[in-house]
A and B are shown apart, each in its own frame.
Chain A
Amino acid sequence: MHIPDGFIAPQMYVPAYGLAGAMWALAARRLRESFDEDSIPKLAVLSAFCFAAMMLMIPLPGGSSAHASGLAVPAIVFGPWTAFVAVSLVLAMQALLFGNGGITTLPVNALALGLAGATVAWASYRALRNVNENAALFAAGWLSVNCPALILAIALGLQPAIASTADGKPLFFPFGLSVTLPAIMIPHALVGIGEGVLTILIYRAIEKRGWTAS
């Protein structure tokens, strides 16, 4: 889902680095309060789990599949700040070790997937778990895909407005919100159903192993 380098203008990625930097500092402070000396290995393996979870495939009807975001389960089990740091580390690893995503788009991707996606998944689960836990897990999975997709659709759709030539030619991503919102949100609304089902099944499986919500 994340955006590659070259489609986000400096007018957006520079302030996004400022905001993401502040959020990373805040997350590090909160983790120091709740973690002990094991914080480095724990964060490392959680990042590795997020990396592997992103490699899981959501089965789709007809034998096809789509990559899972894998955000909801770590957000529910370990909390949104831990998931934010872990996902940010995964995105940095993908950019610097595998050439996926990019370093100009890292803060936008981290804020959308890691912060907004994980927070919304965690909050929706906590809000709904006393009503119906399966519905809460499904909502967490669906929102963990669709909230970041909405933010990335807005980030891409704003590019023509913030970075164009004097005669209106785009300099980065060429399409406005009227194109990016339906083009990104409609497929993600459908993929989110699979993510929601997968979130229920993974959570139920790890619950049997003794892992539950933070």
Chain B
Amino acid sequence: MRNSKTSRPALSRDHLALAAYAAAVVTATMIHRPAILAAALAAVLAAAGNKRREILRRAAFSVVFFNSVVSAAYLAASMLGGNFSWEYLALVNVRVLLLACLAFLFMARANIFKALSFAPALAYLFALAYSQSMALLGLLEDFAAAAKSRSIGRASLGRRYRLAAAAGAAVLDKAMHNSEELSLAMRSRGFFEGNDSDV
């Protein structure tokens, strides 16, 4: 990144949020008492303020499938094996929900692109990858919508494979085209001048 040594930003609120988030996650995986983790979950939700419902909803939604499968399988296996533990079930579910809430609280409170600015090339890469991902996701959605509008009834398995392959190839094509455009844009703005790339 150009002038990365001289323009490195001072420690900001976003850097501190990233450090606090990482420390909280590591701490949560070292505590094995459900009551303490439940208290930490309550504290996280309190810290979320008026976003607590949204954060809890998104966190619960993101973990519900994996946790339900693991919990149901554990319940069945341990009941049959005679070694069932409510404490384990509470521990794993509260911990996973706490970690998900921490992630969504971090996303709500901090700007991840600014939080990564201690490594400018990484922050730039992250921002570019995110914006390009959203663009390519839009292309995939367009493909899906186009395929749906051109199909009457359920498409055959072979046709669905051909559509998926065409979408994959179009995405790669678009990605490489965007790469060339981005390089030209960055070069025209002098991004690479005096750059000892640290990627």
Contacts and interface: CB of A to CB of B under 8 A. Distances in A.
A55 B140 contact: yes
Given A37-B197, A40-B121, A102-B103, A52 B133 contact: yes
Contact of A48 (B107, B129, B161): B129
Given A6-B96, A175-B77, A43 B125 contact: yes
B70 A48 contact: no
Interface in B181-199: 182-183, 186-187, 192, 195, 197, 199
Nearest to B99: A5
B26 A32 contact: no
B183 A42 contact: yes
Nearest to B187: A37
Contacts of B125: 40, 43-44, 47, 89
B175 A10 contact: no
A56 B173 contact: no
Given A28-B199, A93-B130, A202-B165, 14 more contacts: A5-B25, A6-B92, A6-B98, A9-B29, A13-B29, A37-B187, A49-B136, A51-B137, A56-B140, A56-B164, A59-B164, A102-B103, A171-B32, A175-B77
A151 B100 CA distance: 24
Contact of B30 (A10, A43, A56, A95): A10
Contacts of A95: 103
A41 B162 contact: no
B179 interface: yes
A197 B158 CA distance: 10
Candidate in B85, B168, B178 with the most chain A CB atoms within 10 angstroms: B168
12 contacts: A4-B96, A28-B199, A44-B179, A48-B133, A51-B133, A51-B137, A93-B129, A99-B103, A104-B29, A104-B99, A198-B165, A205-B166
B70 A174 contact: yes
Contacts of B137: 51-52, 55
A4 B66 contact: yes
B134 to A, nearest CB: 8
A99 B104 CA distance: 7
Interface of A: 4-7, 9-10, 13, 28, 31-32, 37-49, 51-53, 55-59, 61, 63, 65, 68, 70, 73, 77, 89-90, 92-93, 95-97, 99-100, 102-104, 165, 168-175, 179, 197-198, 201-202, 204-206, 209, 211
Interface in B19-57: 21-22, 25-26, 29-30, 32
Contacts of B140: 52, 55-56
Contacts of A51: 129, 133, 136-137
A93 B126 contact: yes
B70 to A, nearest CB: 7
Contact of A38 (B30, B121, B179): B179
Contacts of A42: 179, 183
Given A42-B183, A52-B139, A99-B103, A170 B157 contact: no
Contacts of B32: 165, 171
Nearest to B198: A28
A44 B128 contact: yes
Interface in B58-110: 58-59, 62-63, 66, 70, 73-74, 77-78, 83, 85, 87-88, 91-92, 95-96, 98-100, 103-104, 106-107
A44 B182 CA distance: 10
B87 A169 contact: yes
A32 B126 contact: no
Contact of A41 (B25, B70, B85, B186): B186
Contacts of B103: 5, 95-96, 99, 102-103
B124 interface: yes
